[in-house]
Chains A and B, each alone.
Chain A
């Protein structure tokens, strides 16, 4: 019985245990089955979120800009450009180009942090359609986003004729050492009186004085004194340069002289005087033209350079240096110095009278009609103009002009005085130019009294495309002429031409 009970108990326990086990197993299986059966899509959201995050944070804007395209990372994660999608306009096909050394486009940057911009410069005929990033995302140019042009807030103009350029203008004049002027009374340099960094003192009769602020140092003077050696009211004309040149200018320059003084600094005791008044500001003093008499000029100080030119006879020559015919400096004190080209010496004339002529005290007739033998060509080499990037240019020029022909177009034929253009240094010629001729210029001036009124003109220049002239870096250049060398009493104008401002506006090639 005991055993029976015990056995029953054991059996009972065994039954319970097995039942419990069965329940547990069934529950476990059922739970497993249930959980597995009803489990929602168990894709973990994390990778999705990461992709979405990247997707949202990857943003690139592609647009055209001067000479190429910009690719701007406007998103918040790094974008690496791997391929460029390009349209070839010649073959009308779409090509894929991997960025790198052999790529069809030059790319400034392939890895762009948020906010960074890369610029692309593609070969001619290739248009950027889109880019493919390293993680395979494609960004295309949105046609809706393609505005025709990127317009800056103001039109950018580059100043070409800066004080730096004007103060070293010799470096910009093509073959200046070979340039020669044609003159009816030849000037020759008086080497003994032409020196650098030297004390100078002048007391002289002058027919024309041009006194300007030096472009290199506005406190110093650049002066061109033109005249002939008449005996003055007070004394002879004298020139002293350094300790070795002491010249009776009335004698040595009796026919004609030009003295160019550059970077003259004056200290107390020194002077720059015309007709007895010290100069407070720069000016042009057309003594002989306006008053019929030369005026008395006194100049003293320490000069950077003194160049003295005199005529020893009345014989003509086509071999005169350009040096005495130009002077640089600021006339109107606006900070933009002028380049003055001056062939005027003495008087005015007309179609029946030779211009620029005087009779000296020794009754010698001196004709000072000067002209250029070749253009004075100023090539502004500091600013190359790339014809792949630019299609048009506008040059704004401020200048003054005067000539000595009382009856204008009756005295002179219509000849070119000024050319503005785009110059090809490889071919030594203009690829496009416009010009100003005498018939227009003479309308802007009064002959007597000689006054100066500034003219501003804009010149449109066409820039030939690479297809027309090849890939070029062109320069803005100007040619200056005095085209009048005298034909009896006609075509004998002498001029004063001052070029002050040259501004360049470039138009993009689209």
Chain B
């Protein structure tokens, strides 16, 4: 019996030991599992914090700019910088980088060295994403090209935010009533405009003697639409854009379309022909072809190109032959301006590549036919035009390229920009040696302006007549060797105030009508101002 009891006790003890062993093993394993789970929680929390906390770092010399790109505000405590050794910078309370809202930015002077990591108050390590990491192979910079490759003035107007009224077509009684005036103004009478595909245009009208017409000024350029088409179809035959202006004619000179005859008479005229496929020949006094351009290969042989600007055709007895098809023809006629009536810049603007380098030039030309000295009104009083207000082109492209949809430049980010301009200039004061006597009122023909958000304008650089007139030759008879003008390269630095938004504006005007001084006619220049390309280099603050 006793043995039985002792056996029972022994068994109970064994069972208890076994049970407690099992239990302790069980409890231990339980504890371990719960420890792991708690650890996992913290890791998940860290991962979450880590993932939602994102900083961009922009290195600007010894200053680092941090931007919170994450979805939650960030409270930073330390910045770890690798100099020669690792340095830990504790952010003092009140430091702008201590607390960063979503999308907020701050700057911190870290000195020399590289920011490795930022540590938040909750201990999360944030590796800033360096936007300008190592400023990759610095063999180039940013030069924003601004070109004028637009098929028409409407598209150009949109890109440069030009006042539409200043470039609207000057229909009688219609729009386009601001910009230019004079004794007469150029208007586009109803019915004198043809917008057809492949309309026949020629100076070789039936019954004309020599198939060509005199001209005052002739501008021939490659048409912007052809330059564009060439990008995808390099074999497309060249198309041209033509501007023809002239004084009063005898009535025998005609331009013909398939439907009508346009006599070049009245009070002076301008003709705009766009998208022209055909042949243009310029003839000298003796009837020799001095220049020729054609859409058909072989037509012009080795004669010099007609692409360019040709002045004083009627004075020099030069003439032009035009024959082909065009998609637009506008025939502007001079009409008395009456009491201060003006017209838009539209008849005075030309878009086309006038030097054959594939870049569209924008040209403002108030010259029509004549040159003159102090003893005459340069373009005669009928044709002497002048601006009543400048034509302003806003260089929105600069802001667009810098990432601002309103085309502005942020003064807090950019300290300035440099403009490089390739310009052309010509005027009709002759001889060139006495142009400063003929034009003695100092006035500007091109201005670079900075405009703020309130519309205040700051003049940065003026190209005054008295400076820019030195770059051209008014009268050229030997056109294959001598040049009316060559492209003038100019650079202009524009400082930008440190806060606010700014726009760069290029303004153009013809400031001269005429003034009588004793028996002299002075301040009577008509001009040609053109821009081919503007390059803009932004400078960061």
Contact = CB atoms under 8 A, between A and B. Distances in A.
Given A56-B50, A439-B472, A152 B141 contact: yes
Given A40-B33, A433-B357, A434-B489, A413 B478 contact: yes
Nearest to A487: B478
B432 A409 contact: yes
Interface stretch (A17-25, A198-206, A324-332): A17-25
B143 A12 contact: no
B11 A155 contact: no
Nearest to A66: B140
Specify the main secondary structure of chain B where it touches its partner: mixed
Nearest to A44: B36
Interface stretch (B18-26, B177-185, B214-222, B335-343): B18-26
A333 interface: no
B43 A414 contact: no
B521 interface: no
Q: Which A-B residue pairs are the 6 nearest by beta carbons?
A: A507-B143, A152-B138, A414-B473, A413-B482, A460-B420, A20-B11
B540 A151 contact: yes
A17 B15 CA distance: 11
A74 interface: yes
Interface string A443-485: 1000000000000011110101101110000000000000100
Contacts of A70: 133, 136
Contact of A414 (B358, B484, B487): B484
Interface stretch (B2-10, B159-167, B362-370): B2-10
Contacts of A24: 15, 18
A280 interface: no
Interface stretch (B86-94, B123-131, B502-510): B123-131
B430 to A, nearest CB: 12
17 contacts: A13-B7, A20-B8, A23-B15, A40-B30, A49-B40, A52-B47, A66-B140, A74-B130, A119-B136, A145-B129, A150-B136, A158-B139, A409-B433, A432-B359, A443-B470, A468-B358, A508-B142
B495 interface: no
A144 B69 contact: yes
A65 B135 CA distance: 9
B26 A506 contact: no
A437 interface: yes
Contact of B143 (A23, A435, A505): A505
Nearest to B70: A144
A150 to B, nearest CB: 6
A357 interface: no
B535 interface: yes
Contacts of A48: 40
Contacts of A63: 131, 133
A236 to B, nearest CB: 42
B47 A55 contact: yes
A510 interface: yes
A117 B130 contact: no
B460 interface: no
B483 A416 contact: yes
Contact of A9 (B4, B139, B422, B472): B4
B454 interface: no
B56 interface: yes
Nearest to A437: B486
Nearest to A70: B136
A54 to B, nearest CB: 12
B137 A49 contact: no
Given A59-B127, A150-B132, A155-B537, A459 B489 contact: yes
Contacts of A56: 47, 50
Interface of B: 1, 3-4, 7-8, 11-12, 14-15, 18-19, 22-23, 26, 29-30, 33-34, 36-37, 39-40, 43, 47, 50, 56, 58, 61, 69, 127, 129-145, 147, 230-232, 357-359, 401-403, 420-422, 431-433, 470-473, 476, 478, 481-489, 491, 532-535, 537, 540
A52 B43 contact: yes
A395 B231 CA distance: 26
A4 interface: no
A72 B8 CA distance: 75
A233 to B, nearest CB: 41
A148 interface: yes
A243 interface: no
Contact of B3 (A9, A61, A66, A430): A9
A392 B145 contact: yes
A437 B483 contact: yes
A465 B359 CA distance: 11
Contacts of A176: none
A164 interface: no
Contacts of B50: 56
A440 B470 contact: yes
A35 interface: yes
Given A156-B139, A413-B473, A439-B472, A16 B7 contact: yes
Given A152-B141, A431-B357, A510-B401, A117 B483 contact: no
Interface in A83-111: none
A27 B22 contact: yes
Nearest to A466: B231
Contacts of B56: 144-145
Contacts of B30: 38, 40
A435 B403 CA distance: 34
Nearest to A42: B33
A147 B147 CA distance: 23
Nearest to A72: B133
Contacts, number: 233
Interface of A: 9, 12-13, 16-17, 19-20, 23-24, 27-28, 31, 34-35, 38-42, 45, 48-49, 52, 55-56, 59, 61, 63, 65-66, 70, 72, 74-75, 117, 119, 142, 144-145, 147-153, 155-156, 158, 389-394, 409-410, 413-416, 430-437, 439-440, 443, 457-460, 462, 464-465, 467-469, 483, 505-508, 510
A460 B489 contact: yes
A432 B431 CA distance: 32
A510 B398 CA distance: 13
A116 to B, nearest CB: 11
Contacts of A413: 473, 476, 478, 481-482
Contacts of A142: 69, 129
Contacts of A152: 135, 138, 141
A454 B36 CA distance: 78
Given A16-B8, A389-B140, A506-B140, A468 B483 contact: no
Contacts of A436: 486
A357 to B, nearest CB: 22
A152 B26 CA distance: 64
A247 to B, nearest CB: 39
A66 to B, nearest CB: 5
A460 B137 contact: no
Given A439-B473, A458-B420, A153 B4 contact: no
A24 B15 CA distance: 6
A151 B142 contact: yes
A61 B12 CA distance: 68
B482 A415 contact: yes
B231 A506 contact: no
B11 A16 contact: yes
A389 B139 CA distance: 11
B1 A458 contact: no
A344 B137 CA distance: 45
Given A27-B18, A413-B482, 11 more contacts: A20-B15, A27-B22, A31-B19, A31-B26, A147-B403, A151-B141, A414-B483, A443-B470, A460-B422, A467-B232, A468-B231
A74 B134 CA distance: 13
B486 A65 contact: no
Name, among B18, B403, B489, the residue most crowded by chain A CB atoms within 10 Å (CB to CB).
B489
B417 to A, nearest CB: 12
Contacts of B14: 20
Given A432-B359, A467-B231, A61 B133 contact: yes
Given A40-B37, A436-B486, A507-B145, A9 B1 contact: yes
